[in-house]
Amino acid sequence: MKNILTLFLICCSFISNAQRTMFEVNNDYVAPNLPVISTTSISSIGNTSAISGGNITDDGGSYIISRGVVWSTSTLPTIALSTKTINGAGAGNFTSSITGLSQSTTYYVRAYATNSTGTSYGTQISFTTTEPIYTVTTSTGRIWMDRNLGATRVATSLIDAQGYGDLYQWGRGKDGHQLRASSTTGNIATSDIAGNALFITTPGNTVYSDWRTPQNDNLWQGVNGINNPCPAGFRIPTQAEWEAEIQTWSSRTAMGAFASPLKLPSAGFRQYNGALNNDGAWADYWTSTVSQTQVFIMNFNSGAAATTNAFPRVWGFSCRCIKN
C-alpha cells in the first residue's frame, strides 16, 4: 500500500511539473504582428510606367512571404482589388516597376508586405502619368505641341471631339478640374493649389472673376512657372507668340487656324458658371500674358477673325503648349 501511495505522489508531481512547464511556455509565447512598411517615392514617371517600391523595417516576428506595390485609379488600393507587383520575399528594401498605365491619368500607390498574420500597407502616394509629346514646327520657327493638352490625337477637323482636349482655368495645374466632365464648386480657392478636382465657379462674370483670391499674376509664367500644366520643357505661349502665328495663317479665320501646322480645332469653352458651350463653333486658347485683372486669350469662331483679347481667369479654355 505504501508503494502504491508513493507512486501516486510521484505521478501527481510529474503532472504538476508538466502543467507548469506548459503554462510557462504558453506564457512566453508572442504572436507575430503585421509587418511595418513604407512606400518609396515615385520616380521615372512616363506615359505608361513609373518606379516605386518599399522598405520593410519590421517583419512583425514572422517571415515576409510576399511584398510589392499595389496601385489603382481609386484611393487606398489593396492586393485583393487592385493591380500589384510581387517583388520577392523577406524584409528590407525593394524596387517595383509599375507598368501598363494609361497616359495623363492619376494613380494611387501603396507598398505592401504579407506575413503569416496578414498584409500591411505603406503610406499612399499619388502621381499622374505624362502625356506623349508630339511636336510640330511652324513657319515662325517655333516648336509647339501638335495637339491641345488632354487631346487624344491631332485634330482631323475643326469639329473633331478627340482633338478638343481639356479646358483649364487660367493658372491652375493639372488637378482634374480641367476635365470636361468635372464637377463644380462655388468655393473660391485661397492659395495656388485649389486642393480639389472641381471646376471653381463664380456667381457672376466680371473682369475680376477668378478661381483664386487674391489673384496671383505669377502663375503659368514660363517652364518653371507655378502650376505650369505643360510637359517638361514646354510652357503656355505669350500673347505675342500667338499673334506671330496668326500672321502666318492663310487667313485669320477658323479655316486658317485649322489649315495651319497647329491644326487648331474649335474646342469650345467652359463658362464662369461651369456650363460647357460652343463645341465645334468657338475656339479659345490661353496665353500667359496678364492684362490687369484679366488674361489674354487667342480666339476665333466661324464668323469672327482670329484675334487676342483679355478675358476673366475663371473661364475654362484650351491650352496649346510651346517649347521654351
Q: Where are the domains of the chain?
A: 36-128, 133-324
DSSP state, residue 101: P
Q: Using an 8 Å Cβ cutoff, are 246 and 298 in contact?
A: yes
Distance CA 95, CA 69 (A): 9
Look at residue 314 in the predicted model and tell me its pLDDT.
98
Distance CA 82, CA 69 (A): 10
Dihedral sign (CA 179, 183, 188, 194): negative
Q: What is the mean pLDDT of residues 176-194?
A: 96
Better-scored residue on pLDDT, 38 or 8: 38
Q: What is the pLDDT of residues 261-277, one digit of tens each?
A: 999 999 999 999 999 99
C-alpha dist (Å) from residue 254 to 71, 166, 288: 43, 19, 22
Give the three-state DSSP class for 53: strand
Distance CA 235, CA 219 (A): 11
Residue 11's pLDDT band, with cuts at 50, 70 and 90, is very low
Look at residue 232 in the predicted model and tell me its pLDDT.
87
Beta bridge partners of 169: 316
C-alpha dist (Å) from residue 74 to 81, 127, 208: 10, 12, 36
Is the pLDDT assigned to residue 7 strictly greater than 60?
A: no
Look at residue 202 in the predicted model and tell me its pLDDT.
97
Q: What is the mean pLDDT of residues 232-241?
A: 96
Distance CA 290, CA 150 (A): 24
Residues 6+ apart with CB under 8 A from 179: 150, 166, 197
Residue 4's pLDDT band, with cuts at 50, 70 and 90, is low
Better-scored residue on pLDDT, 104 or 27: 104
Distance CA 55, CA 60 (A): 13
Residue pointed to by grid coordinates 499595389: 70
Distance CA 238, CA 295 (A): 10
Q: What is the pLDDT of residues 52-72, one digit of tens each?
A: 999 999 999 999 999 999 999
C-alpha dist (Å) from residue 7 to 2, 3, 11, 17, 178: 9, 6, 6, 15, 89
Q: Using an 8 Å Cβ cutoff, are 182 and 276 in contact?
A: no
Distance CA 300, CA 9 (A): 107
Residues 6+ apart with CB under 8 A from 40: 52, 53, 54, 55, 93, 95, 96, 111
Residues 6+ apart with CB under 8 A from 302: 254, 266, 281
Q: Shortest CA distance to 179 belongs to which of 190, 191, 192, 165? A: 165
- What's the CATH class of domain 36-128? mainly beta
Q: Using an 8 Å Cβ cutoff, are 92 and 37 in contact?
A: no
Look at residue 302 in the predicted model and tell me its pLDDT.
84
Q: 191-200 contacts: CB < 8 A, separation 24 or more?
A: 192/216, 192/219, 192/226, 192/227, 193/227, 199/169, 199/270, 199/274, 199/316, 200/169, 200/314
Tally Cβ neighbours within 10 Å of residue 113: 29
Q: Shortest CA distance to 274 belongs to which of 182, 153, 142? A: 182
